[in-house]
Amino acid sequence: MNRFILDCSISASWCLKDESNNEANKILDRLGEDEALVPSLWPIEMANVLVVAERRRRISTADAARAVEILLSLPIHADKGNLENLGAIRLMAREHKLSAYDACYLELAQRTGLPIATLDHALQAAAGKCGVTLFSPKEGKKK
């Protein structure tokens, strides 16, 4: 079983039809054989994605509730995180011109040595500069 860091940009695309992405859908298909690790802020980010989408009428309340059920059923595990990472996250955000939120994903990938799955171009570029591998689902394997 492979493990990888899952960025909110990928999981948000699973929940919002107007942001659907083939690469992200391939990653979703891999979650039967692979498992994802997310920083502790991921549930907050995903809740915000869903509530803002509801407010803007991009999805219904029922669709948002169903998205939560589906996300909770997937092999996605939150890193416990700790205050010791605060300095590293701040420095990564500053050095790579990322939000602190995006830097959390990069710091977790660097700390664990796991590849990162993201649709965010700035985060992809920063990962390359830090020697963090981008996760790419293997073709032809479905769960």
Domains of the chain, CATH where assigned: 3-130 (3.40.50.1010)
What is the arithmetic mean of pLDDT over 68-77?
A: 97
Segment 27-49, tens digit of pLDDT: 999 998 999 999 999 999 999 99
* pLDDT tier at 83, thresholds 50, 70, 90: confident
Contacts of 99 (CB under 8 A, 6+ apart): 93
Other beta carbons less than 10 A from residue 3's beta carbon: 16
pTM given for the model? 0.91
Q: Cα(116)–Cα(87) distance, rounded to whole angstroms?
A: 21
> Residue ranges of the alpha helices (H) in 16-137?
22-30, 42-55, 61-73, 86-96, 100-112, 121-130
* pLDDT tier at 142, thresholds 50, 70, 90: very low
